[in-house]
Amino acid sequence: MNALLGQIGLLSARLLAQGSDRGWMPKQRSTIAPEVDAIFDFILVVSVFFFLLIVGAALYFIIRYHRREGDPMPGGVTHNMPLELLWSGIPVVLVCIMFWWGFKVFVDMRTPPDNAYEISVRAQQWSWEFWYPNGISYDELHVPANQPVKLVMTSEDVLHSFYVPEFRVKMDVIPGRYTTTWFEALYDDEGSNEYPLICAEYCGTDHSSMITKVVVHTDDGFVDWLANADPLAAIPEELWPEYEKDPDKFIKDHPEIKGLKTPALMGQKLYKRKGCSQCHSIDGTRVTGPSFLGIYGKQEEMEDGTTVTVDANYIEESILNPNAKVVKTYPRGQMNSYQGRITDREIAMLIEYIKSLGQK
């Protein structure tokens, strides 16, 4: 059976595949992609054959057996057992091949190798968060090439689905349980090595903007990226007060911490990385949540009628417990708590960023 599948796979691959860039389908950028596409090609050949057969026969019959006035009512055979068995039997054999082949590859797609590098994924309306083994989180998925990567995923709110067309990988991300998927990305010496990472399960208003990217690195490139991905985490505990006191001087004194900027600029990065930008604008536009423009120091009326000044305490409370005080006219329950997903340092940077956007 396996030998047969191999033969058919080779044949259909030769018939159809134009290398790994087939124009009408996403590039094949994971080890499993060519295997999935080989089955696709086999089914395509079978389907095209039967479609042409059926439509061709129908067209031929309406031309060949067109009724002319005065033609007698045709008699002829009304049933034929061998024929029925033949046209039931051939499809049975073909679908058995499709089923078995698809199942075999599917088992591989679902079973991560033991040596896989593990990244955990948290999805929420409408952003992605990827947690690496060294404890940092990022809004883009960075992976090493030529190494199996296993994703352990869960959702903070509704259903989402992790989908990378180039990898031929998709798995729903479900609140209240963990789902896993895996892939082994290929490195492309000529390409950008960046591919879209898409939410494929409908998740509300901004479903269609819940898109980020996967970046495939060489082994060294990945180690390098991981070390520098979060400059805030790279500051040793005892040096932190020094950075807070005079960031500019600290940055000058410590060039070994790459990518470190002033708190407001660090906050600006976090604003995007932590997904704040999906619901809070910085230009005053009303989206799901209040805009950050000029909000710091402002008196805001809450839904219970009380008034609150937007200061560091209120911002911290709203990040950790978003439904404690909701600004009037904005929907309750839209935002999930960031408790356990954000460090004190990051909160401080975000506050600095919001401050920098103007103050009343």
Residues 4-33 interacting with another protein (rule: CB under 8 A): 24-26
- Largest Cα span, the chain: 103
* Residue of 119, 185, 186, 203 interacting with another protein (CB under 8 A): 203
Q: Which residues contact residue 314 at a Cβ distance below 8 angstroms, ignoring those fewer than 6 apart?
A: 308, 325
Locus of tokens 């509704």: 158
**By CB under 8 A, residue 50 contacts another protein:** yes
**By CB under 8 A, residue 245 contacts another protein:** no
Q: Which residues contact residue 68 at a Cβ distance below 8 angstroms, ignoring those fewer than 6 apart?
A: none
* Residue of 211, 234, 239, 308 interacting with another protein (CB under 8 A): 211
CA distance 190 to 76: 65
**By CB under 8 A, residue 171 contacts another protein:** yes
* Residue of 10, 99, 224, 249 interacting with another protein (CB under 8 A): 99
Residue number with CB closer to another protein (238 or 304): 304
**282 φ/ψ angles, rounded to the nearest 5 degrees:** -120, 15
DSSP structural state of residue 77: -
**By CB under 8 A, residue 39 contacts another protein:** yes
CA distance 134 to 54: 58
**By CB under 8 A, residue 196 contacts another protein:** yes
**By CB under 8 A, residue 188 contacts another protein:** no
* Residue of 14, 18, 76, 285 interacting with another protein (CB under 8 A): 76
* Residue of 17, 46, 152, 233 interacting with another protein (CB under 8 A): 46
Residues 328-357 binding another protein (CB under 8 A) are 331, 333
* Residue of 198, 234, 265, 308 interacting with another protein (CB under 8 A): 198
The SS3 of residue 126 is: coil
CA distance 11 to 31: 20
Please, what is the minimum distance in Å from the beta carbon of residue 117 to another protein?
21
Locus of tokens 């219970």: 304
Residue number with CB closer to another protein (4 or 227): 4
Residues 265-304 binding another protein (CB under 8 A) are none
**By CB under 8 A, residue 134 contacts another protein:** no
**By CB under 8 A, residue 66 contacts another protein:** yes
CA distance 201 to 265: 33
Kind of pairing, strands 148-155 and 117-124?
parallel
And the tokens for 252? 């000058």
**By CB under 8 A, residue 252 contacts another protein:** no
